[in-house]
Amino acid sequence: MVEERYELAVQRIGEIKDEKTVSECFRDYFVQISKFIMMIAEFKSCVESGVYRELSLEELEKWNQRLYEDILPGHYEESYANPSYALKRLGEEYGQMLSFLYAEIRGAIVYAVEQRIEYLDILFELFIQIYNEFEAEELPGPAGIKDIIYWYASDYCDVFAADRIREQIDPGESFAADIIRECDLTDIRYLYFFGEYISENERGSALYLKELSEEVIQRMADVYTEGYRMGFINTGKDLSKKSVVNIRYVLGFERVIQKAAGNFKKLGLEPVIYRSSVSAVTKRQHLKLGYYGASANKQYEYDHKDDQALFFDKQFVERRLEVMETVYEQYKELAAGFAGPACMEVFGEEPFVPVRKKEAIRLTKKQEELSLQYNNRAGQLTNKYIKGEERSFTIVAYPVPEIGEKYEEIFREIIKINTLDAKLYERVQQTLIDALDKGSYVRIRGRNGNKTDLTVQLFRLADSCKETIFENCTADVNIPVGEIFTSPVLEGTNGVLHVSQVYLNELLYKDLELIFSNGMITDYNCRNFERELENKEYIFDNILHKNPTLPLGEFAIGTNTTAYAAAKKYGIEKKLPILIAEKMGPHFAVGDTCYSWSEDVRVYNPNGKEIVAKDNSKSILRKEDVSKAYFQCHTDITIPYEELESITAVTESGEEIYLLRDGRFVLEGTEILNEPLKNMER
């Protein structure tokens, strides 16, 4: 039945290029999209027959270029996937919806390589249905087209959303795992078998790793998986109860992932490796969760990040949550065995500053509020089946060739940074923690144009012999080593947090400034755009995630001066991911605390003291109404050492204990952290 539907749909779409049954102003759109679909049909046949995997590297590159060409820079300005072009050619009434339709159909690339025929049926039949509406003597009403899109999202939620949840917990969904396990990874043709866009970064990464010794590859995998294992041990969680680990990574690192999967199996964990979502029904804005290749065009992804606004209402939310609960209930044993994600990120790409287009679809205020409610309820539902107090994670990052001509040298430096002596850092960081435990609050002040002047209120210890405020974080879940962190007391946390430039979730912020009153954001701005309103909307969308305010969920001090010196040496500080950047100065996370959903798990530092500062006045509301406790986001913002005047712990009696002054560690016992900085100055 599925194959028959597919054949009928392709046959019908193949006829469109020769028809003149729609108004001339829409004819080019339908012809162009029909040609794209016919290319997908050709691609599917090539994959299905086995011919695709026999093609040469040059032939695979040509296929990849054909599939993604329409949205690549240089072509995107005249693509119907571009909302600006679509509105210009198709008018305000239809432009957004038809641009959405094309963006949704572009997901067929990965569906074809994965041989998801049912998904292709759904998309192609949606296209035919909308085409039929435009064949009528009179143009269809825009409301009618929007209804078709709405019922597409609602009706097939139980396919797309249900499959999405199962993919995240079921190792039987092994498309990517099979490629990694079975292919010859010294033959980089395998990169094209995933269906993702492949750029010089993915090719370059795979070629570089191909030349590394088995010993180095194994060491990279060991750091990654050992950090994951230690995350369970250090938080007192039982890994033996778990059976599945989710591996998230960027294409090009398959040699490491292959070794890591073997390590995880020795720990009793089967890998789940699922693709980042491509459908507006299941994806979360432009963010990528899962494995993925290069972004063919980040502006395209940003333009379509709010496409769900076409169908996002209360009825759809209830439908999505119903599907979610049904699937989790059906697979509750697999969900209970889910141990959490192990993430391998990359960095080195040029920071992306999006253009905010008025033609792009935007959520209404009502939809933004509904989105927050959905995220909250979805988080609670996930936690019901995958308990936060039982799961963990780990994250590590490596550079891609775009970082510069010294890529290989930088890569070796990052391997060194990711394998620093954790015991040394543990001792030095404990010295900082001992001083901070005496404090009533911490004051952070900026210099060299940094306007930070922030007071962070600290938790009061009941028994300083047995309790501590800060966690001594070595190389477990957050690799590399180098930070201590706490959940601040919101009441009494006031002031300005400012950083001249920072790169958060693949977006660049210039002169980012957040104002706090009693731990909550009361105002914010940046200088990315000429108009203040655009700057505020940019932060509201991408840092506040459409919340009217967020708490300061974490205060931390990064101690990895080796990483900082390396960043300065190679001039890559603006390209580092937050994972490394947060270890290179004090950092502040807005949103949930580091302990969200697991506050009641007892956690101890290596010296045996229990970490008691895990809650704040927002997260503690979970005991009364969990919907008021969490925000489903956590964004770290780091002040680099050169913009830092001082960090001072102030005791209840008013004594000032300086931890850092003029960007250098001054507390006795921490001076060794300044050595990489001294070497940098020579």
Among the listed residues 549, 541, 522, the one whose alpha carbon sits nearest the alpha carbon of residue 367: 541
Among the listed residues 188, 176, 175, the one whose alpha carbon sits nearest the alpha carbon of residue 56: 188
pLDDT in tens, 232-268: 988 888 999 999 999 999 999 999 999 999 999 999 9
Looking at this protein, which amino acid is placed at residue 343?
Answer: C
CB contact at 8 A, 455 and 491: no
State mean pLDDT over 537-564. 94
Among the listed residues 486, 485, 550, 561, the one whose alpha carbon sits nearest the alpha carbon of residue 524: 550
Among the listed residues 92, 80, 65, the one whose alpha carbon sits nearest the alpha carbon of residue 33: 80
One DSSP character per residue, 577-630 reads -HHHHTTSSEEEEEES-TTTT-TTS--B-TTS-EE-----TTGGGGGT-GGGT-
SS3 303: helix
Q: Provide the pLDDT confidence category of residue 479 given band limits of 50, 70 and 90.
A: confident
Q: Higher pLDDT residue, 515 or 567?
A: 515
SS3 251: coil
Is the pLDDT assigned to residue 682 strictly greater than 60?
A: no
d(CA 216, CA 410): 15
pLDDT in tens, 216-233: 999 999 999 999 998 898
State mean pLDDT over 588-615. 92
pLDDT in tens, 93-141: 999 999 999 999 999 999 999 999 999 999 999 999 999 999 998 999 9
Q: What is the distance of C-alpha 67 from the center of its chain? A: 24
State mean pLDDT over 625-649. 92
SS3 478: strand
pLDDT in tens, 185-211: 999 999 999 999 999 999 999 999 999
Asked if the peptide bond before residue 480 counts as cis, ω within 30 degrees of 0, the response is: yes
Among the listed residues 312, 375, 323, the one whose alpha carbon sits nearest the alpha carbon of residue 100: 312
The per-residue pLDDT of the chain, averaged, comes to 94
Residue 423 has a pLDDT of 87
pTM above 0.85, yes or no: yes
The pair of structure tokens assigned to 171 is 């190792």
CB contact at 8 A, 591 and 634: yes
> What number of helices (H) and strands (E) belong to the chain?
23, 19
SS3 277: coil
d(CA 629, CA 661): 36
CB under 8 Å to 660, separation ≥6 — which residues?
557, 586, 641, 644, 646, 647, 666
- Catalogue the long-range contacts made by 570-574 (C-beta closer than 8 Å, 24 or more residues apart): 570/403, 570/404, 570/406, 570/409, 570/410, 570/413, 571/404, 572/348, 572/399, 572/403, 572/404, 572/410, 573/640, 574/351, 574/501, 574/503
Q: How many CA atoms lie within 13 A of 8 on its CB side?
A: 10
